Amino acid sequence: MVATNLLRPRGHVAPDTHPVELQRLAYQEATHDECHVINVQTLVWLFRAFNAVLNAQAEELRPLGLSPSAFNVLMALHNTQDRVLEPCQLAQRLLISRPSVTGLLDTLQAKRLIERDPHPEDRRRVLVRLTDEGLALLESHFDIHYSEQNAVFADLTADEKATLVALLRRVRGAQPEDLGRVDAAPG
């Protein structure tokens, strides 16, 4: 006797398929559906959180006339030895394309926040340097910037923030090596 209350797979199944195989197929579909739903929910909330943080940062930086990406370039330069990097290093650190870096550097140079200097060993390369004006702008904005960062994560405990970082690192570590490299993309 075959139980009638068992799950049935949705796809076409041969009429003589053994009941145990029917259950295995149905379970596999159900598990796949559950995984799909939670993966989509996870991605949606990850994107929503990212957009909320990005929008808050854009509002914070609007009085300075800077985009979040331009501010990130200044911060990357500030956080390196001698406050100097090559454009390709900026692209790698910020996970943006080299053409995007060039556009950001053009904007920042026009505002006198960075300078481009010839590389001392290879004239095909340039070094990007944070100017005194760029440093002064950053330093005048640090209190506001860090206050905004604290507000974004105010509802999380230190342990929850550490867990979030660990989980995001695990997600990133589970990806193919070149996924985060913008310059590895075709085109």
For the chain, the domains span 19-162
Report whether pLDDT(187) > 50. no
Which residues, in sequence order, are CB contacts of 106 under 8 Å at separation 6+? none
Q: What is the pLDDT of residues 110-137, one digit of tens each?
A: 999 999 999 999 989 999 999 999 999 9
For 131, the 3-state DSSP assignment is coil
- Please provide the CATH number assigned to the domain covering 19-162: 1.10.10.10
Tell me the C-alpha distance between 65 and 2, whole Å: 71
CA distances to 94, 95, 101, 139, 179 from 87, rounded to whole Å, are 11, 12, 7, 23, 20
Report whether pLDDT(97) > 90. yes
Report whether pLDDT(186) > 50. no
pTM to 2 decimal places: 0.70
Tokens of 129: 């340097």
